[in-house]
Each structure stands twice: as structure tokens, then as C-alpha cells.
Structure 1
Amino acid sequence: MFGWFKKKKPESNSAQQEEKDESDFVDDETQVVTNEDKELEAKGFDPIAQVQEQDKENEGIADPDKLEYVGYHDIPADDILQLVLNFKCFPNDEDIRHPEGYEKGGRICADKKVVTKARSVGKEMVKQIGKKILSGSLNLTKVSFPIRVMIPKTALETSVHGTSIFPLYITKATMTPDFLERFKLVITATLSSFFWTNTFLKPLNPILGETLQANYNDGTQVYCEQIMHHPPVSYFLVFGPNRKYKYYGYYLVEGRAGLNSVTIINKGRRSIEFNDGQKIDFDFPNELYSGTFFGQLRQESINKITFTDKANGLSCIIDIGKVKKRTSDFFQADVTCKGQKVSTVFGTYIGFINFDDVRYWDYRYVVPHKIKMDKQPLESDHKNRSDLQALKAGDIPLAQKNKEILENLQRNDRKLREAYEKQKKSKK
């Protein structure tokens, strides 16, 4: 297995690879590769050869003006409340999927510029780091990507983007004393958020100690902080209007590349607590990006996501992509109460969500709400980063220079912390 990678000795480049210790590489049993990757490797196929060179090294991957939540609700709190009060389930008329849904499942990247730029930078990185990067054994969170393939947002902001539907579904959940109905609304808010949060654009890696403060017009407050560098851990805390609910948890992600794919593994956890004591715990699915070098670039949410309310005996384990004769974005699962089936959820994260015969979400009717960054945040706020500001202004060389300065500062800080820990141990 992976004989393709032995044809050329892996190279290294300190400007592109953040860490070079052996902990970057893992045993074969943890490698993440698709069946397509295995077939390509067996044939000795080189996907890098399919990518054309690009000369526009000082051009960003996306227009910053198109990244500001265009088309999202930006309405007063009273109007948001009326949307919640008037919310009714949708007509259960057909099993619809978004037009960008791929024929085999997931969502395609319709922006050809993004596809071309991402593939060009990917080819460049393989040349600089070596083909080991495509073996599934290298954690991509420890690799420094060129800033021109990134967007002027950090992962702190993209990590809380999924709350943009909370002003509807979670606020609605606070208005019912029915624990099962709340459970359904939390599942709906979570799965429907994939439609807006899944992206083909890479955010900047947060810096240790970086923070975010934001809000929605209905009074929802959002807070984030990057609390670890390696592994990268992002904590978040969200208070609903009048603190009727609290949403909190952390992201802990790894990225693994195959010959023509990238898998994002999220080991984080999250919870919602309502002010009457109900608590719902749930995790994250993984994300698969296929066609990274040739073919159709597409994204899929994969594997299981588990919801539990231990106090009330509620549980739902959703294994995405396991519905017979359906594309890989479909799911179907039972909601159980103390081991007994009480409902069934069925749908697709790029179209609709039904509980039994009642449609709770339909992408054609639901609009997310615009998240707004606080105007007077802490000095550690993500928007104050010099590389982000230069990238947003379109100055790619300055953005790359500032990014490298910040990365070197983090590396130096890490060495100082490690030296201090060694010193403490030696004194014991």
C-alpha cells in the first residue's frame, strides 16, 4: 500500500511546514484515504500532473466582498421574534436537493476560480513538502498554507457560522416545554446549518489566545477563544436572548489528504443547555472533499453524529450516507426515548429535514441570520490580525509576510513554554 509515495523521496521546506517532528506522522491504521485514492495509487496515477501551473501568485482565492453573508437576514429583534412566533412546518411535497447537489452526493464547488486556484496551490505545496502530504499520514493542521489560498476570516469565525440559524430554531425550542420537540429542533438546527457552513474556502488558522466577540440582532451573544496551538482547539460560548439557552463546546480538527481528496476529522464536542435544565450533547460529523486535483471538486459531510439527552433518555445516532438508493447526503435515523422509538428523522443536509411526515426544514424557505462582530472587541480580536487585514485589502505579499511573522512568534512562544516545562520537571 502507498507504493506511489515511494517513487520520490519526500522533500521538506521550513517556510511551508510548521512542525517537522515525528508526531506529524501517524501509523497506517489512522490514515484517511478514499476508495478512489486507493484505486489511483494502485494504478500509479499521478494526480498532480493534471493540474496546470498558474502565474497569478499575488491574487487571492476569493473576492472578500462576497464573503460578508450576502442575502442573510439583517432585521430588528422584534421582526426576528415574529418570524419565530409565526414559524410553522413546511409543505412535505418532494424530496428536494439544492441545484449544486452532486449526482452521487454532497455539494459541488461551482466557482471555477476557487477550483483552479486551490489546485494550483496544492500542486505547489506537494512540490515543496513532498508527496508524503498525499499519503493520509500527515496532519494538515501542522502545515503552513500560502495565504493566497485562504480567505480573510479565521477559523474562529467560521466555527460559529453554524449558529446563524439559531435565532429561529433554538429560540423556538425555548418556547416549548416539550423535551422531545426541543430535541427535534436542536437536531434540525444542527443538520440544516451544514447547508450554509460547509465551504470550499480555507480560513486562517487562529493564533493562540485569539478571541472573537459577536452578536445577532435578537440579542444572542457569541464568544470564542483559541486555547491551544497544537493540537488546535477552539472554544465557543453562545448565550441566547435573555439567556434562555447556552450553547458551548470546542472544535478539535485534523486534516488528512489522499491522492485526490482531503478529509477533515472533527473530534470536538458541544452542548445546549436550556434554562429549565434540559441538556443536549452532540458531536460533529467529518467532512470529505473529493476531486481536489482533478474531476468534480465536491464536499460531503460523512460518518456519524450523535445526539443525547441523558436526563430524559433521548437519543439519536445519525449515520450520514447510509440510506439505500439515495445519494450520500441523505440520512435516516430513529429518535428513541429510553430505548423505545418515538420518531424518525429523514432528509438531506442540502435539501430538507422531516420528522416522520412533518417537514421541519426546507432550504427554499429558511434564511440564516447575519452574525455581527462587536465594534469594540478585545485587542486579541481576530479582526486585528495584520495578515487578515492585508489579505482583505488584497495585498497578498504583505499578507504572506505578516502571516509568517505571526507563525514564527507562535513557534518561539511554544519553544519557551516547552523549555519552562522541562525546567519545572528538572527541579522536582
Structure 2
Amino acid sequence: MESNQKQGGFFASIAAGFSSIGSAVHKSVNGVLGYEGLEVINPEGGTEDAEEEARRGRWRQEDRDSYWKIMQKHIGSDITSMVSLPVIIFEPMTMIQKMAELMEYCHLLDLADQCEDPYLRMVHAASWAISVYFAYQRTWKPFNPILGETYEMVNHGGITFISEQVSHHPPVSAGHAENEHFTYDLTSKVKTKFLGNSVDIYPLGRTKVTLKRDGVVLDLVPPPTKANNLIFGRIWVDSLGEMIMTNLTTNDKVVLYFQPCGWFGAGRYEVDGYVYNAQEEPKMLMTGKWNESMSYQPCDLDGEPLSGTELKEVWRVAPVPENDKFQYTHFAHKINSFDTAPKKLLASDSRLRPDRRALEKGDLSKASSEKSSLEERQRAEKRNREANKHQFTPRWFNLTDQVKSTPWGEMEIYEYNGKYTEHRAAIDSSDCIEEADAKSIEFNPWQYSHSSVN
């Protein structure tokens, strides 16, 4: 009993310490800056850093004050498509481009397809799902795609990738990738909860991977994400909670727990869990950091490493550019480049957006005006469609009658219709197409191109 009391006292003191951090942070922000209800968290520091951390960040004071006047009434709300945000917090990439970053380490899916061991197959596939979180920790916001906007990639590991913005309200994106080993299908929607100086992001959607050799189908439920210090302090991103990947063919599954960031950064980035068989017995343990590497080791029914085995690395993040302004990886630069764009790029491609291109060149004023122009043109096209009683129809994906349940709600599913494969094959097999400079193509995702801004 004495031991338990001591332990309880220890954990109670830790909890009290966390409570005092929150109150100290609030006191610092309110006393110095005059704002109520905003929490500033420095993941690498303690309470003494709160005041200094609150003064940091990329906002100019007048921009921050203006933004807060707009946003304070939305605390507790889903702000997914509610507010037009200033370009100062954006990166020169759109959300459907960022979807393609899941393909950087797609060789792990190739290995999963070729793997004879069913549990090692799940290790490779789950490590692929984790690998994108290194890119997702970037603190710049991607542009919201325009309805009908696309992104295509045909130059990485034999993959053909196409994504499309298939709905504007609510914002929904769909993506499809394929090579000789796998197909990847994603319908993506997020739900958010704005908390003042942070936002919780819940990933509604369906990610389905089919491994071609054996026809294995994998389903993924990712963890939620939290973006901290949106207004005061330096923005940082954390993912916390469970990731579950299920083999729908065999009922094997991987359950990985993303540790939340603790005091002075304790536990940040850490991921641990197991591969289970259909009887829910642990077969492989997995451990690592989502910003660094993942390793695995066979285990017994108690989850302990098997005697005579060793921990083996299965994935490690590739080297990244030093001091990159937008924290891009080499792969992110690749998918953003016209040099790697496919022949006869679709006019709806994200690379062509004038706001994105202006921001990439460092012209914030032009990027802001171009962004506003695109958003107004999107509203004008919607008015045009409604006046003519027409509905928007995605070009490369079809809405199905399937509904996916997630821990955070339900959503309808879009499926790839195969037309892009035919489109790309026709282009690649033609010798008559005159190749134009992709940069000269005018961005045009509009189904009603005669829509005017009124």
C-alpha cells in the first residue's frame, strides 16, 4: 500500500505540474498580449519559455490582430472551409498535391506485395503509412483545391498517380495510384475543431491499398493531428493516438500508437505497436519515430521479443534539403516541379495555379490577389451551375453508394473510373502531339469556362 501511495503521489505531482504549465502559459499570454483563451505551447521548453514563445512566429502583429478578430467567434467550430486565410501561412502546394507525397516511399508497398511472410507484409505496409508523417509535420498550410482541380504524376517508381477535387462543400478529394505491385485509392475529407491557438484535425476518409500478387486488400484508419501555436508562437504539428491497418483478406492487422508530445518534448514522434494475426495474437512488434525510422522484431504471445531475433530497420527518412524555406523534402520539390510534369499536362493541374506560382516566387501580394480571384471565380461558376440546374461531375472519379464509417463520422466514397489511364495511354502512344511548354498553359479546372465574376 505504501508503494502505491508513493506512486500515486508521484503521478499526482506530475499532473499538477502539467496543470501549472497551462495556467502559467495562459497568464503569460493574457498579461503580455491582451488575449483571452489562447494557449502557447513550446514542445521543447517549460513554463519560463511561454512569454518568449508567444512573441515568436511568422505573423506580423497587424495581421495577427486582424486574423484573431475574425477567428475568435469560431472557437469550437469546424473551420475546414469556413474562412479564407492569408497567404502568409501558406506553402506553394495544394492539398491534392500533398496527397501524392504518400508515394515517396511506395517501394515499401512493392516489398509488401512481394513478401511471403504475411506479418512482415504488414510491417512493410504499415511503415509506408507512417512514412508520410515526416512530410505532414510541415508547418505551412497547403492551398485548398479549386473544385475540379487535378494533380498528376507519372514519373516515380513506375507509378501513375491522379488526384481530383471532387467536392467543394464539403471539401472532398479523391486519389488513385497504380504500378505493377499495388493500387492505392483514397477518398479524403477532414473534420476540424478550432481551439483558438490550435486546431484538431480528424481524418475522415478511406484509404484502400490492393496488393496485386495475392489480391490482398488493406484498409487504413490514421490518427488525428493537432496543429499548435497557430497565432502566437512557432507553429508545430503533432499526431497522437492509434493508427490501425487491417488486412481485409485475412483479418491480420497492425495497431500502432502515436505518442503525444509531453513535457520538454518527451515522447514526441514516437510510435509503438504490434502486428496481430486474425486471432488477435501479437506476431511482430514495431517501434520507431515517425520523423526518423521504423523497426520491427518477431515477438511471443506476450509481445516480448523472440529469443534469437533482433530489431531490424524497415524504413528510414531520406536526406532533406538544408534550411529549406518551406521545409520541403527533395520529393516535395520533385512533385512541385514542371521539369517532372507529364507530357500534355492537364490544364486543371495544381502546378498551374497562379497563386501557387506567385507564392513560390515570393510575391505574396500577387499570390493573395490571385487566390482571391480563383475563389471568386469558383463562386461564380457555382452560381452558373445552380442557375442552369446542373451538378458538378468529377472527371476521373465516380461517386458510389458506399459509405465509410470512421471514428469521427461517416462519408461517401468516390472510386476511380479508369478514364485517366486511358487518357494517359492515348497521349503516351501518340507521336503527333506537339509538346508545349507546360508553364504556358493557363490554369483551367472550370467545367463552365464561360463563368464570369459578377
- CA shift for structure 1 position 379: 1.4
Change (3 A) 1:272 1:117: same
* Aligned pairs (5 A) from 1:92-103: 102=44
- CA shift for structure 1 position 403: 1.6
- CA shift for structure 1 position 43: 6.3
Change (3 A) 1:50 1:42: closer
The aligned residue for residue 388 of structure 1 is 356
- Residues 298-355 of structure 1: CA distance to partner in whole angstroms, max 9, x if unpaired? 2111222210002112112223217999514323222111122211222221233222
Q: 1:361 is matched with which residue: 303, 312, 315?
A: 315
| Kept in 2: contact 1:267–1:284 (CA 8 A) | no
Distance between the aligned counterparts of 2:193 and 2:238, measured in 1?
A: 15
- CA shift for structure 1 position 273: 0.6
Q: Which has the higher contact order (CA 8 A, sep 6+)?
A: 1
Write the letter of the residue equivalent to 1:146. P
- Residues 146-204 of structure 1: CA distance to partner in whole angstroms, max 9, x if unpaired? 223322211111122121111x3122223323332221101111112211332101111
Change (3 A) 1:260 1:401: closer
SS at match of 2:67: helix
The aligned residue for residue 76 of structure 1 is none
| TM-score with structure 2 setting the length | 0.63
1:194 aligns with 2:133: yes
Change (3 A) 1:419 1:102: farther
Write the letter of the residue equivalent to 2:287. F
Q: 2:273 is matched with which residue: 333, 347, 367?
A: 333
Change (3 A) 1:260 1:378: same
| Kept in 1: contact 2:207–2:220 (CA 8 A) | yes
- CA shift for structure 1 position 225: 0.4
SS at match of 2:81: helix
Max Rg structure: 2
Change (3 A) 1:336 1:130: closer
Q: 1:414 is matched with which residue: 382, 386, 396?
A: 382
1:162 aligns with 2:130: no
- CA shift for structure 1 position 41: 10
The aligned residue for residue 270 of structure 1 is 207
Q: How many pairs does the alignment contain?
A: 330
- CA shift for structure 1 position 212: 0.9
Change (3 A) 1:103 1:317: farther
| TM-score with structure 1 setting the length | 0.67
Distance between the aligned counterparts of 1:373 and 1:313, measured in 2?
A: 39
Change (3 A) 1:259 1:365: closer
Change (3 A) 1:118 1:331: farther
1:257 aligns with 2:225: no
- CA shift for structure 1 position 368: 7.0
Distance between the aligned counterparts of 1:414 and 1:35, measured in 2?
A: 48
| Kept in 2: contact 1:37–1:261 (CA 8 A) | no
The aligned residue for residue 67 of structure 2 is 125
Write the letter of the residue equivalent to 1:390. A
Distance between the aligned counterparts of 2:261 and 2:269, measured in 1?
A: 9
Change (3 A) 1:381 1:362: closer
| Kept in 2: contact 1:47–1:260 (CA 8 A) | no
Distance between the aligned counterparts of 2:131 and 2:20, measured in 1?
A: 28
Distance between the aligned counterparts of 2:388 and 2:31, measured in 1?
A: 45
| Kept in 2: contact 1:345–1:353 (CA 8 A) | yes
Write the letter of the residue equivalent to 2:83. V
| Kept in 2: contact 1:316–1:334 (CA 8 A) | yes
- Residues 357-384 of structure 1: CA distance to partner in whole angstroms, max 9, x if unpaired? 2222234789975444324211111122
Cα RMSD between the aligned structures?
3.7
- CA shift for structure 1 position 251: 1.7
Change (3 A) 1:249 1:266: same
Q: 1:49 is matched with which residue: 33, 39, 45?
A: 33
SS at match of 2:127: helix
SS at match of 1:380: coil
Change (3 A) 1:119 1:204: farther
* Identical-residue share of aligned pairs (%): 23
Distance between the aligned counterparts of 1:313 and 1:422, measured in 2?
A: 43
Change (3 A) 1:122 1:220: farther
Distance between the aligned counterparts of 1:162 and 1:120, measured in 2?
A: 37
Write the letter of the residue equivalent to 1:327. G
* Aligned pairs (5 A) from 1:309-328: 309-321=247-259, 327-328=267-268
> For structure 1, which segment, 114-123 or 274-283, has the greater mean C-alpha deviation from structure 2 after superposition?
114-123
| Kept in 1: contact 2:238–2:260 (CA 8 A) | no
- Residues 205-240 of structure 1: CA distance to partner in whole angstroms, max 9, x if unpaired? 100000111133432121110000011111111112
Distance between the aligned counterparts of 2:45 and 2:318, measured in 1?
A: 19
SS at match of 2:105: helix
Q: 2:227 is matched with which residue: 286, 289, 292?
A: 289
Change (3 A) 1:35 1:294: farther
